[in-house]
Structure 1
Amino acid sequence: MDTRMTDSRAIEAFEELEVPEGFKAELLWGEIVMMAGPDLVHNRIVTKVMDQLSPDKWERVQNQDVAILAETSEPVPDLVVMALEDAPESGRLMPSEQVRLAVEVVSKTSVHRDHVTKRALYAAGRIPAYLIIDPLRGECVLLTEPTGKGEQADYRVERKAWFGDTMPVDPLGVKLDTSGFQTLPVSPPEQ
């Protein structure tokens, strides 16, 4: 049974949601998902990516709400990259059509969401490139050429690089140096 709310009810509930300080919320396929703030390693990786993208060419925004309203979704990527000429003056919601690259840094609680849920969601929103940076695995995955619709949408091209390797981000004409990316320690299972 599908327990998701109707499109309008989900969007209305999400827009009225009061998120506690230190948390962020996203609307993904009609479901509201709340998560705690990120680890310091996570924030350092996002900063290292931003520093490699020229501010003279790219608008680089952290934690920007993206509108994929046809999919009842308002994800909040860790980093959104747009061409300067596409960046609006203001607004809470960035139309997915204006996003050139969405970046997610995986945390212990977001593995499935970043690798599976958002992969389909960003492809459905026609975001041309999606970069998953996984400090648990020490790996980057660049997905390009979105195809399909809805939850069956995906990317045709997948390129991987280990931390320490250079990751070509061809849609932006950038070669990303990943040598400064830290990994997260794997926690022992709880007793």
Structure 2
Amino acid sequence: MTAVDERGIAKFFEEFEPPEGIKAELLRGEIVMMATPDLVHNRIVADVVDQIPRKRWERLQVTDVDIIDETSEPIPDLVVVERGVAPDSGRLLPSQLVTMVVEVVSKTSVQRDYEIKRSIYAAGEVPAYLIVDPIMAQCVLLTRPVGKGENADYQRQQITKFGAPLPLEDLELELDTSEFGTYLNVRPHRYP
């Protein structure tokens, strides 16, 4: 894809209105649409939000993250930003202001969450990327982003099974995963 094409798709995406009940993200020049998530998914996001202190952190849902040098505007399930750092308004939140993003794996987002978004968030230098996986009953915390573009990745990966506490050093807290639900009758996958 040429630079002109990338600017064109970014402009198109800016004005794109997905159908009601559909979330659309721009991931490396491709528009990806997703249906409304499962209740298990929504409850996990709510549980994580409840555990992050509001006085110190903004816990933003349905917020587009602007990834520098990428034709990507992912919409994480949760974006955590230090209070007072984010702009007062606007559609895009620059990735360099983000402390942590959270993605809850859905039945159809496994590869996107574990591969594509991992690389995108690392390229955007997001310090912590938490993948909460109700298929495998585990959390994967990725930290220390390095690299550029599709070669970007996280140097550190910590896997925590649901039920065990998960230290989130960047937020200076420990996440209780004991009430995270799982999907029923879903085949296990091979990630991370």
TM-score range relative to shorter protein: over 0.9
User: SS of the counterpart of 2:23?
Assistant: strand
1:114 aligns with 2:104: no
User: Please, which runs of 5 or more residues in structure 1 have no aligned partner?
Assistant: none
One-letter identity of the residue aligned with 1:42: H
Q: CA RMSD in A?
A: 1.5
The residue number in structure 2 matching 1:127 is 126
Normalising by structure 1, we get a TM-score of: 0.94
Q: Which whole-Å CA distance do the structure 2 matches of 1:142 and 1:187 have between them?
A: 22
- Per the TM alignment, residue 4 of structure 1 is displaced from its structure 2 partner at its CA by 10
The residue number in structure 2 matching 1:105 is 104
User: SS of the counterpart of 2:43?
Assistant: helix
Q: Which whole-Å CA distance do the structure 1 matches of 2:94 and 2:3 have between them?
A: 23
In structure 2, the CA distance between the partners of 1:187 and 1:162, relative to structure 1 (3 Å rule), is closer
One-letter identity of the residue aligned with 2:36: G
- Per the TM alignment, residue 48 of structure 1 is displaced from its structure 2 partner at its CA by 0.4
Q: How does 1:1-191 map to 2 (within 5 A)?
A: 6-187=5-186
Q: Which whole-Å CA distance do the structure 2 matches of 1:69 and 1:124 have between them?
A: 8
User: SS of the counterpart of 2:102?
Assistant: strand
Q: Deviations over 1:31-66 (max 9, x none)?
A: 110110111110100010010000000000111111
- Per the TM alignment, residue 187 of structure 1 is displaced from its structure 2 partner at its CA by 4.0
In structure 2, the CA distance between the partners of 1:164 and 1:4, relative to structure 1 (3 Å rule), is farther
Give % identity. Answer: 56
One-letter identity of the residue aligned with 1:33: V
Q: Which whole-Å CA distance do the structure 1 matches of 2:63 and 2:15 have between them?
A: 17
Q: Which whole-Å CA distance do the structure 2 matches of 1:23 and 1:4 have between them?
A: 28
Q: Which whole-Å CA distance do the structure 2 matches of 1:161 and 1:187 have between them?
A: 20
- Per the TM alignment, residue 16 of structure 1 is displaced from its structure 2 partner at its CA by 2.0
CA contact (8 A) 2:107 2:186 kept: no
- Per the TM alignment, residue 69 of structure 1 is displaced from its structure 2 partner at its CA by 4.2
User: Please, which runs of 5 or more residues in structure 2 have no aligned partner?
Assistant: 188-192
- Per the TM alignment, residue 89 of structure 1 is displaced from its structure 2 partner at its CA by 1.0
CA contact (8 A) 1:42 1:105 kept: yes
- Deviant stretches of 4+, over 4 Å: 2-5
Q: Which whole-Å CA distance do the structure 2 matches of 1:5 and 1:163 have between them?
A: 45
Q: Which whole-Å CA distance do the structure 1 matches of 2:149 and 2:2 have between them?
A: 17
User: SS of the counterpart of 1:59?
Assistant: strand
